[in-house]
Amino acid sequence: MNKQIELFLKLVKIYSPVGNEKPVIDFLIQWLKKRKIKFDIDKRGNIFFGFYKNTEPILFSAHVDTVKSPLGKINPIVNNQFIKAGKNKILGADNKASLSALLTLVDWYLEEKSEKSIEVLLTAGEEDGSDLVNFQFSKIKSKLGFVFDSIAPIGTIILASPFIINFEINFFGKASHSSKPELGVNVFLRGIDFLKKFPPKIYKKYGLIFNIGLIKGGQGVNIVPDRLTIKGEIRSLKKDKFFEKIDSLKKYLIDTQDKLIFSGFCPGYFHKKNDIIITKLKKILKRLGVKSRFEKSFVVSDANELNDKGIKVINLGDGVCNAHTDKEKISIKDLERIFEISKEIVLNF
């Protein structure tokens, strides 16, 4: 078994669900110290370092947290060229597949005494979006970057990722005893009106998904309810349609006493298929015998924040199958291919 695969197995054994990344961060600090690599670490646990030569730097990034596994600690099983975790356990190949490839890339880079400039960002808290909230982006000098954090076959190039925002609406009515409904205002009627006007729906033409995820209200069967909360999210691949939907929510509630609260904004991005970076990437994949495929994804990653900060970051398929479930698995071949693609990027960009 090669070093990268051994490292991957070691990394998934270090259980580091989102919010509890310390064990893997401690491992990474030791790993970096052993190689005498100078690095920055911020309060959230994001690790950043770079090697600067005479070329424009290229950023590589991976997240060190995973989703929570129902039974905790992972003991990976290697079977038939695939690695998985077993019943009620989630392997955490998202994103440790990429993390193992990236650390292997750093070792290769040092052994090779490469003359290229690279930067590495290892984030903590990607799964709940808390990782880059207070990150100092001015540390990053790269204008171009790559992450492998799309649950898709190796060779997948993500061309678009959505803008997302969560909303919460608190509707107010007036409570009364059910025997005297004329004294109250049943807030559910307002809720029904709202849901008719804003049903959960996919607007295919606009690349927009409007979801209602939570409805809560009422006090009892014999009380006219005065409180109703509806929560949901808007995600869209089109910036104008995204903001139009936000405006229509605001407008709907404008002359009411109901309260609308937005949170968790995530910026979207879009890459052109004929972008020179994408063309170059396609050539690299072809040379490695990997078929490139394009996807407009409704899922977000660190690439969203990084693109928003002016760094053109391409998100690529990580080869993970059935991610975030106990059927999650990855092939040894795909793990190695993440490293191979990254190495070719360093050599050719």
Q: Which of 241, 230, 303 is nearest to 268 (CA)?
A: 303
Task: Tell me the two tokens of residue 332.
Answer: 């040894």
- Per the listing, tokens 């061309």 go with 159
The residue (of 118 and 316) whose beta carbon lies closer to Zn ion is 316
Q: Which is nearer to Zn ion, 94 or 258 (CB)?
A: 94
Q: What is the smallest separation between the CB atom of 244 and Zn ion, expressed in angstroms? A: 30
CB of 117 to Zn ion, least distance (A): 26
Q: How far is the CB of 302 from Zn ion (least distance, A)?
A: 8
Rounded Cα distance between 266 and 320, Å, is 24
Cis check for the bond before 315: say yes or no (omega within 30 of 0): no
Q: Which is nearer to Zn ion, 119 or 149 (CB)?
A: 149
Question: Which residue, 260 or 299, has its beta carbon nearer to Zn ion?
Answer: 299
Provide the minimum distance between the beta carbon of 32 and Zn ion in the complex, in angstroms, as a whole number: 22
Pick between residue 94 and residue 226 the one whose CB is nearest to Zn ion: 94
- Of 128, 74, 72, give the one whose Cα is nearest residue 96: 74
Least distance in Å: CB of 69 to Zn ion? 14
Q: Which amino acid is at 65?
A: D
The C-alpha torsion from 248 through 253 and 258 to 262, rounded to 10°, is 20
Rounded to a whole number of angstroms, the minimum distance from the CB of residue 126 to Zn ion is 6
Strands 144-150 and 58-63: parallel
Output 152 or 208, the one with its CB closest to Zn ion: 152
| Contact residues for Zn ion, defined by CB under 5 A | 94-95, 149
Q: How crowded is the C-beta side of 19, counted as CA atoms within 13 Å?
A: 4
SS (H, E, C) 202-267: EEHHHCEEEEEEEEEECCCCCEECCEEEEEEEEEECCHHHHHHHHHHHHHHCCCCCCEEEEEEEEC
Nearest approach, Cβ of 266 to Zn ion (angstroms)? Answer: 14
Nearer to Zn ion, 149 or 340 (CB): 149
Interatomic CA distance for residues 86 and 202, integer angstroms: 35
